[in-house]
Structure 1
Amino acid sequence: MSKIELSFSLMQKEAREGIVLNARGKASATRSGIVWRYGKQLVLGVGLIAVAVILGQLFDHPDAIPEMFSMWLGAAAITSLWQFRWSNGIRETAAKMARFSEEFGPSIAVFDQGGVVLSSKTGTATIPWRAVGTIRTTKHVTILTFGSQILVVPHRVLPPGLTPMDFDIQLEDWKAAA
């Protein structure tokens, strides 16, 4: 295959899937494993219990259970608030990406041995393969990262006969050859 040309307007759910995939990929690329994922919560929990016990001793309170419960409740509230803000941020960014497609029409992406050429009503950009950091695929989208930016390509626009896995393999081959 010498080139793949796709024309697409991104939907909000596709943009969200790409953003989440990119965010998870960054975390797992540098910090993988169950210890990293749950170790922070374990350290926080043990630390809060220690603080509760120390405060109980300092204020001559024989039972540290109320303090521990209060600190766990506070930690749960902080974590919930962070998760809520993170989800809202992703939703807002995905909505902006979808609105761009609605406002400026479809984007055209041409993939070939030289890289990716993106064009829309706002302009044209050429991204050589050496600038592409990672290529990741999920159920509905493939993302390409370059610098701090991502290109989200919905699988629904792939040509007939080209599966998402074949698309991913072709992109990886072109990237490796560059």
Structure 2
Amino acid sequence: MSRPTQCCFCSSLKGTDFIGETWDRHRHVREVPTDAFGDISFAGLRQKTGKYARVSTNTSPDVLYQLLTEQWELPPPNLLISVTGGAKNFYLKARLKNMFHRGLIKVAQTTGAWIITGGTHAGVMKHVGQAVRDYALSSSSTRGQIVAIGVATWGIIHNRNALVNSEV
């Protein structure tokens, strides 16, 4: 995969250099060309792959849209569905969970929507992920693609160092 154009990431400078100071984004973070992007495989019944890129909070929405539609070749959305909420896990009764899953997938399918979440496996975002996973596992190639985008902060990603491209 080629490097995303104009995408940068923020990197915290060595914390020991600033002991005793109040953290300041402008002093303690630097922005450099991204070294964390590529394809990621999700293990399961069927091997699924997705794409990822580490970007700065200052990255222009236009640049991100270009990355998603031109480089990753996602179809432009007709609707954005943003599912947000706390990352606290909660129990959904089976009937309500099934209604949520079916409703979310149906809306995304019929409208050509992108589903955007906080990208974690907790709370309501976990239920979105399960709905998309279940759809992908049960769907045939003739059914429409569901686009789900997780936007997570770099610090909460498990094994994030494995996502850094050492050749860049």
Same-fold status (TM-score > 0.5)? no
Flag the structure with larger Rg. Answer: 1
TM-score by length of 2: 0.24
TM-score by length of 1: 0.23
Q: Tell me which of the two structures has the higher relative contact order, counting C-alpha pairs closer than 8 angstroms and 6 or more residues apart.
A: 1
